[in-house]
Chains A and B, each alone.
Chain A
Amino acid sequence: MAYVTVTGGQTAIQEAEKYVKYMRIGQAETILDLNAVQGQLRLLIDKVMSEGGLYAPDEAALALKQSEGDVMEAAFLLRAYRSTLPRTHVTSTIEPDDMRVIRRISSSFRELPGGQMLGPTVDYTHRLLRFSLRKESTSDVQEFLEQYLPNIAPAHTVTSMPKVVELLREQGMMEAKLADVDEEPFDITRERISYPAPRSARMQMLARGETGAMCALAYSSMRGYGIVHPTIGELRVGYVSMYVPHPFAPEDPDRALYIGEMLVTEVESINNFKQSNEGKPVMVLGYGLTIGQNELKAISMAILERSLDTVGTSPAQDEEFVLTHIDCVESSGFVSHLKMPHYVTFQSEIDRISQSQAHYDSKDKTSSIAKDAVTEGAMEHV
């Protein structure tokens, strides 16, 4: 006869998984359809793909269903799935100038070439709960589509609009475009970032960052902990075409293979000329680009990207501080790890507090311990 170990852990995990399943579907009258998630929780899908760093609407919908709508958990599921995918191709550089635009606004100029295009936004819709949506039916949708679709112009999307900041450049008021850098970008998924980070690494970290965390930091900069408070030169939402170089003619852009398009949000912000570093004062660009329609994140990115190039002591100006704390998989992982047992570390802490309390109790209020420590505390170099 021998003792056997208790194997409660395994059973407990299995029971927890069952309980979660029950909470997820046990009382559901209709099972959540992935088409419905993908089609009707569009902005949530976009957020999950952007923070998960993977453009995969089907998998994002699945992740959201599986995680009962927990955005960070869904982004995490995508990120873990991403680790298993071999990288077979790298796309050519995308050209947001040639975006098939569905929305484009500028806060800098009332009138501009190409015009403003409100597109899909609730910015000017009153935020009233619309109780009629409770009873929305497929026949309502049908009726809406019959009225809506014939009346929209075939060109309700526009390609190739000139960039607002280019107009300013022509006037000599905007800093010159960064020279094209013909070097392999840093890859944050293949190398550990170190500081100061190359610009490509910084932009990747921001593009994958968590919307809420980035918004809070951008807000802090605007409110006073920092100096960046831009004007939006241009915010565009639209589809960019994706190409991979032809395997037999990788240098020939005309033979690149079209693989599809991706919805992105791009923000170009215009910043105060006092932020220009040297030479003739010019306005300075801030840049944000994110997967899907996520305007808050794209604006926050444009603010932080600019802020990280300014000098000061505010959190939003500290590259290491910003970039190491905006990743949702890392921040949520570490904060939630506190739920794991810490018996050993806690035990070690108990041992120390006992000794420190004994020290406190024994110490005469005018104790000479501090003095003793100074005179006797010879340091040993190991």
Chain B
Amino acid sequence: MFEQNYNFAFLDEASKREIRRATLKAIAIPGYQVPFASRELPIGRGWGTGGLQLTLSLVGKEDVLKVIDQGSDDSVNAVSIRRLVEDTTGIRTTESTEEASIIQTRHRTPDHPLRNDQIMVYQVPKPEPLRDVEPSETATARMHGEMDYSPMWLALYENIVKYGNMARGADYPVMINKRYLMAPSPIPRWDNPKFHYAGFLSLFGAGREKKIYAIPPFTHVESLHFDDYPFEIENFDGASCIDCGSANGFLQVIPAKGGTWIHRCSDTAFCLARRNASLKNAEVQA
């Protein structure tokens, strides 16, 4: 617990308001990276301080927060972030996707469908989708301004020539509202389609890079692809979760002896809900 009395949600009110103003601008210009004066927080810079600043600026006393890291509520970093918000706000937190009003996440969108009144807050390590093809911030700002995304198309094309596919794993670039190329943060490609005309608000915070951007509800979101090389989500070859049997969620693989794999749901809350539901069914039948 904190030894001193910090302000509600750690940051001072003026800082929170500044972050909310940047957020409003981000919502008004879907996919555009809004610069903001990112504050240092008591967790590592590069460990979710962008998402955390969004969360801290948004939470009110009535909010219920869920924090996940790689799909898990119990991941040490999720625990650490949740504990910081609990300690500085006293608000209720949850592991249930349905109960949460704000969900801060590192690199997953829950597999349970979201409601329109829920807000997703994504932690972003590299907000600039063009950074892989252009190291300079000055140059990428110009490219966005001119909607010059040809180096990205070329990079994808070169991968097809070399590897037979787009060869991009997570953080697969998306075009927002047919205008801005955007890094969806390193979520698996599996989660990209969930953004398209989604009813919920998605906010993205990059603390170290000092950028906030957003996908407002009901926005056109398209993952980059060619006519003859469609966008593909991860393929699990029909595998299902060893715990809940689901083949409908993103799976994480666990190497097993003999060169085989075990599959388990990446979204632990989704998996738990399924297991509890089947237990309940079994009890009812018994």
Q: Which residues of A contact B (CB under 8 A)?
A: 1-3, 5-10, 12-13, 76, 79-80, 82-84, 86, 187-192, 194-196, 320, 324, 329-330, 332-337, 340-345, 347-352, 355-356, 358-360, 363, 369-370, 373-374, 376-380, 382
Contact of A344 with B266 at beta-carbon distance under 8 Å, contacts A9-B74, A359-B165, A378-B227 already known? yes
Contacts of A351 in B (CB 8 A): 169, 234-235
Residue of A nearest to B79 (CB): A9
Most chain A beta-carbon neighbours within 10 Å: one of B11, B12, B78: B12
Question: Closest 7 CB pairs between A and B?
Answer: A359-B164, A333-B45, A348-B169, A192-B35, A333-B46, A334-B46, A337-B46
| B161 part of interface (Cβ distance < 8 Å) | yes
Residue of A nearest to B53 (CB): A83
Shortest distance between the CB of B191 and any CB in chain A (Å) = 9
Pick the contact of B10: A84, A332, A341 (CB < 8 A): A84
A329 touches B40 (CB 8 A): yes
Contact of A1 with B279 at beta-carbon distance under 8 Å, contacts A190-B37, A347-B253, A373-B157 already known? yes
B163 touches A7 (CB 8 A): no
**Count of inter-chain pairs, beta carbons less than 8 A:** 199
- Given the complex of chains A and B, what is the CA–CA distance between A13 and B211 in angstroms? 29
If A84-B11, A340-B69 are given as contacts, then 7 extra A-B residue pairs at C-beta distance below 8 Å, sorted by A number, are A76-B44, A190-B37, A332-B45, A333-B45, A337-B47, A343-B70, A351-B169
Contacts of B35 in A (CB 8 A): 191-192, 194
Pick the contact of B40: A79, A195, A356 (CB < 8 A): A79
B167 touches A352 (CB 8 A): yes
A333 touches B44 (CB 8 A): yes
Q: Which of B57-65, B114-122, B197-205, B268-276 contacts A (4 or more CB under 8 A)?
A: B268-276
A373 touches B175 (CB 8 A): no
Contacts of B216 in A (CB 8 A): none
| B210 part of interface (Cβ distance < 8 Å) | yes
12 example contacts (A-B, Cβ-Cβ < 8 A) are as follows A13-B76, A76-B44, A84-B6, A194-B35, A320-B138, A333-B46, A345-B169, A345-B186, A377-B160, A379-B226, A380-B225, A380-B227
Contacts of A358 in B (CB 8 A): 164
Contact of A359 with B163 at beta-carbon distance under 8 Å, contacts A330-B208, A343-B70, A348-B189 already known? yes
Contacts of A347 in B (CB 8 A): 188, 234, 250-253, 266
* Per-position 1/0 for B18-60, Cβ under 8 A of A: 1000000000000000011111111011110100000000000
- Given the complex of chains A and B, what is the CA–CA distance between A165 and B259 in angstroms? 71
Contacts of B42 in A (CB 8 A): 80
B47 touches A340 (CB 8 A): yes
Contacts of B47 in A (CB 8 A): 333, 336-337, 340
Interface residues of B in 185-236 (CB under 8 A from A): 186-190, 208, 210-211, 222, 224-229, 234-235
Shortest distance between the CB of B232 and any CB in chain A (Å) = 8
Shortest distance between the CB of B140 and any CB in chain A (Å) = 11
| B248 part of interface (Cβ distance < 8 Å) | no
- Given the complex of chains A and B, what is the CA–CA distance between A345 and B190 in angstroms? 11
B224 touches A382 (CB 8 A): yes
A349 touches B170 (CB 8 A): yes
Contacts of A350 in B (CB 8 A): 253
Contacts of A3 in B (CB 8 A): 272, 275-276, 279
Contacts of B18 in A (CB 8 A): 190
Contacts of A191 in B (CB 8 A): 35, 37
Contacts of B268 in A (CB 8 A): 5
Shortest distance between the CB of A204 and any CB in chain B (Å) = 12
Pick the contact of B95: A5, A76, A379 (CB < 8 A): A5
Contacts of A76 in B (CB 8 A): 40, 44-45
Interface residues of B in 145-176 (CB under 8 A from A): 153, 157, 160-161, 163-165, 167-171, 175
Most chain A beta-carbon neighbours within 10 Å: one of B15, B107, B178: B107
Residue of A nearest to B78 (CB): A9
A192 touches B137 (CB 8 A): no
Contact of A337 with B125 at beta-carbon distance under 8 Å, contacts A5-B74, A330-B45, A345-B171 already known? yes
B138 touches A355 (CB 8 A): no
Residue of A nearest to B189 (CB): A348
Contact of A344 with B161 at beta-carbon distance under 8 Å, contacts A195-B138, A351-B169 already known? no
Pick the contact of A195: B108, B137, B178, B266 (CB < 8 A): B137
A344 touches B208 (CB 8 A): no
- Given the complex of chains A and B, what is the CA–CA distance between A340 and B81 in angstroms? 13
Shortest distance between the CB of B161 and any CB in chain A (Å) = 5
B77 touches A341 (CB 8 A): yes
Contacts of A86 in B (CB 8 A): 12
Contact of A348 with B234 at beta-carbon distance under 8 Å, contacts A337-B47, A359-B164 already known? yes
Contacts of A195 in B (CB 8 A): 137-138
A356 touches B137 (CB 8 A): no
A377 touches B76 (CB 8 A): no
A344 touches B186 (CB 8 A): yes
Shortest distance between the CB of B129 and any CB in chain A (Å) = 13
- Given the complex of chains A and B, what is the CA–CA distance between A96 and B268 in angstroms? 59
A369 touches B95 (CB 8 A): no
A189 touches B37 (CB 8 A): yes
B45 touches A344 (CB 8 A): no
- Given the complex of chains A and B, what is the CA–CA distance between A332 and B234 in angstroms? 32
| B136 part of interface (Cβ distance < 8 Å) | yes
Most chain A beta-carbon neighbours within 10 Å: one of B12, B74, B108, B164: B164
Interface residues of B in 249-269 (CB under 8 A from A): 250-253, 266, 268-269
